[in-house]
Amino acid sequence: MEANHQQTDDMFLPAERDAVYKCIFKRRDVRGQFLRDPIPDDILARLLRAAHHAPSVGFMQPWDFIVVRSAAIKRKIRDAFQTAHLEAAEMFEGERQQAYRALKLEGILEAPIGICITCDRTRSGPVVIGRTHQLEMDRYSAVCAVQNLWLAARAENIGVGWVSILRQDDLRDALGIPPTIEPIAYLCVGYASYFYQEPELETGGWLPRIPLTDAVWIDGWHVRNDSDPLFERL
């Protein structure tokens, strides 16, 4: 039974709550389904605003967003991907390598726009609240901006694909990013002809989804009591 909380403007109605969960569960990495339809600027602005409202340690907001419209720049990034993709293929062996080579892992040229999200690790000075003992928290904050944008895009029925098979220096070179700025994600963004019902790598047999019950522990690493009522809900 749900707790009976007084409704305020800051609380979600059941339908609103369900829409958030639907967005999370229906989010997919889009690679080969991009349409050429342009994204209207008002919708693109909404996506960027959602990303800009991501949580950030010490409220340092370390991110910047580079919107890529130029076909020439996309080709340069695609060339960099192709180089890294060939290198990555050699890291797998036998049938696994063949399966890897058959995968469609980017939509750089097909997507109407790309968005590169970066992290400025100096933005709030050398000492930042919450980063005093975990210096990588600024990077994690930038990744939260990626997730915010991805979920907002899905709610707009727009697909996103994260291209991680890239050397950072190649991405810096293509986009003129200074060496002091760290590229976090290059995202292909556009309307999609369809979204997979389940993750493509799962349905394609690359890897199965790990059962949630194999990833939840109580009060310590790999510690749990199977009689805990939580596990009846997972």
Domains in the chain: boundaries:
30-191
Domain 30-191 class, CATH top level: alpha beta
For residue 119, list its beta bridge partners: 63, 182
How many Å apart are CA 156 and CA 172, to the nearest integer?
Answer: 29
CA contacts within 13 A on the Cβ side of 202: 10
- Are the CB atoms for 122 and 111 separated by under 8 Å? no
Positions of the chain with pLDDT lower than 50, given as ranges: 1
Indicate the DSSP class of residue 229: G
| pLDDT score for 1 | 45
| pLDDT score for 6 | 62
| pLDDT score for 225 | 84
Pairing between β-strand 181-191 and β-strand 63-68 as defined by DSSP bridges: unpaired
| pLDDT score for 2 | 52
pLDDT single digits (tens) 218-232: 999 999 888 899 999
For residue 185, list its beta bridge partners: 117
pTM reported for the whole predicted model: 0.94
